[in-house]
Amino acid sequence: MDVEHSQTVFSPAPAPPAVWRLIITPPASGARNMAVDEAIATLSAQGHSPPTLRFYQWQPGTVSLGRHQSIAEVDRAAIRARGYGLVRRPTGGRAILHIDELTYSIAGPQDEPRLSGAILDSYMRLSEGLVLGLQRLGIAAVKAPGSSRTGPDVSAVCFEVPSAYEICAGGKKLIGSAQSRRAGYVLQHGSLPLYGDITRLVDVLALPTPEERAALKRLVASRATTVAEQLGRRVTFWEAATVLIDGLNSALNVDFEEGELSPEEEALAAELEAEKYANPAWTERV
């Protein structure tokens, strides 16, 4: 999670009812997805876009790096060989392989009551909605404890260990999320693995020996999970989106009205995609 320092977490009174926009976009490249997230967030801070919940997928499957993560931690030749994309997120955290998953993003101005306060305040509020949604799907989801583990023993893998208020099930991490606050906006996005091998990311990390790769795979498998592993069946993107909308509606006191990107958002997203997220100068900046 993109938190710069520890902060006290409060439990404010429920926010008054509100209406947010819901957007479900077609599968897209990593550069396009990150550009759309930032465009919505930027324009929401300027009052040109409403607070927005977006669900999306990635095509092709893509490795995303945290904002401050070294690109040397991934094996770019192995990424290319598997047909994956590579992008750097605007938020912090570690590497994620976005494949066979639902990704959500929430963007709005910092003075929106559900997004205001310290980073962990809003993070906790949003986590409540994610937990409720997963519980309605039949998963015994819970929030991780309000602390983060960092240090030299933490690998390049985002799903190795949960950070504060991320979502766990069966003692394993299920949703990894990150939040950024810049230019008056709040942007939080996260990854919900629906099915498949949760250890596939390890195949494209820059690791010195096959033994270390095998050991990290075993570690990730013991600490991370998918919806299918928890339920014993596959859940579609649309089924997962429906329960998360329901959970966030209940937790945040928000009604979601389906919409689409505005022409201004499309223009800014195209600019950000070309000049930032598809630009090696951004991807290779660390």
Point out the residues that are catalytic. Answer: 158
What value, to the nearest 5°, has the Cα angle with vertex 277 and ends 273 and 282? 140
Among 130, 114, 123, residue whose Cα is nearest residue 50 = 114
| CA distances, 275 to each of 55, 139, 179, 279 (Å) | 24, 41, 22, 6
- Alpha-carbon gap, residue 265 to 44, rounded angstroms: 10
The torsion defined by the Cα of 43, 49, 55 and 58, in degrees rounded to 10, comes to -40
Question: How many other β-carbons are positioned within 10 Å of the β-carbon of residue 149?
Answer: 13
> Whole-angstrom Cα distance, residue 24 to residue 57?
9
List the one residue out of 148, 144, 130, 120 whose CA is nearest residue 224.
144
How is residue 214 written in tokens?
A: 């095998």
- Cβ within 8 Å of residue 219, ≥6 positions away: 155, 160
At which residue do the structure tokens 């092709």 appear? 60
Element (H, E) at 220: helix 210-223
